[in-house]
Amino acid sequence: MRKITRYISGVVFSAIALTLVVFMSVDFIFGLIYQLSSIKGNYNFTEAMIYLTLTAPRRLYTYVPFSCLIGCLAGLGVLANTSELVVVRAAGVSTARIVWLALRPALVFIFIALLVGEYVTPYSEQMAEYRRAMAIGKSVKASQQPIWSREANEFIHFDAVLPNGVIYGVSRYSFNEDRELVAASFTKQAIYQDGFWQEEDVAITHINANSTSIENVSSRHWDTKLTPDLLNILALDPKNLSIQNLYFYMNYLQAQHIKNDDYSLSFWQKTLKPLATASLVIIAISFIFGPLRSVTTGQRIFTGVIFGVLFELIQRLLGPSSLVFGFSPLFAVLLPIAFCLALGVFLLNRAR
């Protein structure tokens, strides 16, 4: 029994690993082609390679679910084509036991992806975008999205957020209770020290009923709950944040009475990603024992790619739909997972 356990798990593990390497390699090639077209200034071939290396953890985290799906289809498919699965079942190994043996190596990759997404991706992505922006000579951002925040009646925009507690181009817009703009300021640079931000080179525009006035100050003390950690979270795209940081920032937005639907959606997507990957593996295993039992390896891989794309498409449609129509992001994330699990269990029960 131990030999069977090691053999089945080893075949599936090797197939998942090979699939992941293929995905990563193809993505790296296309990414390099795109980066080479963006070469200018100090952003040369070496910087492009560094950028691709730093963003590799994000790509690994993205491709693990599809690699588990296709790897299980390919690995178990090889065993089915050579009738080894028939021999294993004839030896008294139940379908449930085979499912577990195929699921075990997938759990290893799920665990690795979870660690990478939680502790590596947020920092490597920020460093990659920072280095690229500095080399090209653009405004230093950790993401391509506009960096906005809100505190009470004040809206704040940041041109650049650095990971070391320095921000550039801070625009602050203050409104009264009637939602009228009463003041606007622009700060060239702010440095975080001793629990507050020290703004430097500040231009303040005071807006009255019939006139405006401009005040220039060399420095200004800014007390705010926006710490460097919060700004580093704000600068990153929600999908690149860790689960811990998403939960932290969701609570911050809730305390400010600001909607946190985008971050809530990303939180549930990342939290339930291991379950989503496991559901895809269950689907792959059920296909081997069911409708894809006697087809070629190419057909299995093609089916896996199509099913994976459909799963991703449904998730991408349901997620934004929950923000537009107001239903729970948790429901949007759980629905395709529940469907996959139900379909997989149904097909496995039929195969018994």
- Are residues 248 and 234 in contact, defined by beta-carbon separation less than 8 angstroms? no
CA separation (Å) from 143 to 8, 72, 137? Answer: 43, 35, 15
Residue 184 neighbours by CB under 8 Å, 6+ apart:
171, 172, 173, 174, 204, 205, 207
Same domain, 7 and 154: no
CB atoms near residue 306 (< 10 Å)? 10
Same domain, 190 and 282: no
Same domain, 228 and 288: no
Same domain, 121 and 199: no
The whole-number pLDDT of residue 291 equals 66
Same domain, 215 and 326: no
Cα separation, 212 vs 206, whole angstroms: 6
The whole-number pLDDT of residue 6 equals 85
Cα separation, 272 vs 189, whole angstroms: 39
Tally of domains within the chain: 2
The whole-number pLDDT of residue 60 equals 94
For Cα atoms 77, 82, 87, give the angle at the middle one, nearest 5 degrees. Answer: 100
Residue 244 inside a domain? The answer is: no
| Number of separate helices (H) and strands (E) present in the chain | 12, 6
Residue 116 inside a domain? The answer is: yes
Residue 254 inside a domain? The answer is: no
Cα separation, 302 vs 306, whole angstroms: 6
Cα separation, 246 vs 201, whole angstroms: 33
Same domain, 125 and 153: no
Q: Tens digit of pLDDT per residue, the chain (352 long)?
A: 678 888 888 999 999 999 999 999 999 999 999 988 878 778 888 889 999 999 999 999 999 999 999 999 888 888 888 888 878 877 777 878 888 888 899 999 999 999 999 999 888 887 887 788 777 765 444 444 568 888 888 999 988 787 678 888 899 999 988 888 999 999 999 999 888 899 999 999 999 878 888 899 999 999 888 888 888 787 778 888 889 888 988 888 887 777 788 888 899 999 999 999 999 998 888 888 776 666 677 777 788 888 888 888 898 888 888 888 888 889 999 999 999 899 888 888 876 6
Q: Which of 196, 195, 173 lies closest to 186, judged by CA? A: 173
List the beta strands (DSSP E) in the chain.
Answer: 147-151, 154-162, 166-175, 181-193, 196-207, 212-222
Same domain, 292 and 218: no
Cα separation, 104 vs 98, whole angstroms: 10
The whole-number pLDDT of residue 326 equals 81
CA dihedral in degrees (165, 270, 32, 20; nearest 10)?
140
**Tokens, residue 352:** 């018994």
Residue 90 neighbours by CB under 8 Å, 6+ apart:
none
Residue 241 inside a domain? The answer is: no
The whole-number pLDDT of residue 241 equals 86
- Helix 273-289 to helix 95-119 angle, to the nearest 10 degrees? 150
Cα separation, 199 vs 181, whole angstroms: 21
Helix (H, G, I), strand (E, B) or coil at 151: strand
Last residue of a domain, one of 235, 252, 284: 235
Residue 308 inside a domain? The answer is: yes
> Given phi > 0 = left and psi -120 to 50 = alpha, else beta, which region is 161?
beta
CA atoms within 13 A on the CB side of 180: 6
Residue 257 inside a domain? The answer is: no
Same domain, 9 and 42: yes
What is the total residue count of the chain?
Answer: 352
The whole-number pLDDT of residue 122 equals 85
Cα separation, 3 vs 93, whole angstroms: 12
Q: Which of 195, 193, 187 lies closest to 220, judged by CA? A: 187
Phi, psi torsion values for 214, nearest 5 degrees: -115, 130
Same domain, 314 and 342: yes
The whole-number pLDDT of residue 260 equals 80
Cα separation, 253 vs 245, whole angstroms: 12
Same domain, 30 and 53: yes
Last residue of a domain, one of 193, 216, 235: 235
Domain around 27: 2-130+266-351
Last residue of a domain, one of 186, 212, 235: 235
Residue 242 inside a domain? The answer is: no
Residue 249 inside a domain? The answer is: no
Same domain, 103 and 30: yes
Same domain, 270 and 320: yes
